[in-house]
Amino acid sequence: MGRIIGIVTEAGQAFTIIFSHKIFWTVFTGWLFASIVKVLIHLIKEKHFDFRLLVDTGRMPSSHSAFIACLATVIGLEVGWSSPMFMLALGMAVLVMNDAAGVRRAAGHQARILNCIMDDMQHKKHLGAERLKEFLGHTRLEVMAGAAIGVVWGLMFY
């Protein structure tokens, strides 16, 4: 029983440390800012508010890119630009942003094609399936915009 209490106490302390850390709040608010910008751009272009875009994938700017670029920036500021920790964060940033603009975008194109096939089949009454999500990835511009937001946010608020 004492071991369980110790584990719960350590978990509570870790939780407190994470949620009171300046890096956490800088990165989280950078992600939130990019997500709000995404919602506002959609609101201006489409003339309707879509709350789901706060946590959804795709669209301008990439909040994933903003998050990871901000994280790499504040780690660089905290431990130094030549540190192994920054190099790890930079590598992860490149990987996440490449995935956002490459693999997930390709999956979105495939979803669009499959949805067209499903529309054709449904029109001929052969299929009644659920549509696939087409906005999975980002264009390079969306990724670069998100990365720029993340770097600037990290430099301004850390």
Give tens-digit pLDDT for 127-140. 555 654 555 567 88
Q: Is residue 66 assigned to a domain? A: yes
Q: Is residue 131 assigned to a domain? A: no
Q: Is residue 8 assigned to a domain? A: no
Q: Is residue 7 assigned to a domain? A: no
User: pTM of the entire structure?
Assistant: 0.73
Q: Is the pLDDT of residue 60 over 80?
A: yes
Q: Is the pLDDT of residue 45 over 90?
A: no
Confidence of residue 29 (pLDDT cuts 50, 70, 90): very high
Give tens-digit pLDDT for 78-120. 999 999 999 999 999 999 998 887 766 666 666 677 666 777 6
Q: Is residue 112 assigned to a domain? A: no
**3-class SS letters over the chain:** CHHHHHHHHHHHHHHHHHHCCHHHHHHHHHHHHHHHHHHHHHHHHHCCCCHHHHCCCCCCCCHHHHHHHHHHHHHHHHHCCCCHHHHHHHHHHHHHHHHHHCHHHHHHHHHHHHHHHHHHHHHCCCCCCCCCCCCCCCCHHHHHHHHHHHHHHHHHHC
Q: Is residue 28 assigned to a domain? A: yes
Question: What residue numbers bound the domain in which 61 lies?
Answer: 22-102+137-157
Q: Is residue 29 assigned to a domain? A: yes
Q: Percentage of residues in the chain with pLDDT exceeding 90?
A: 43
Q: Is residue 126 assigned to a domain? A: no
In total, how many domains does the chain have? 1
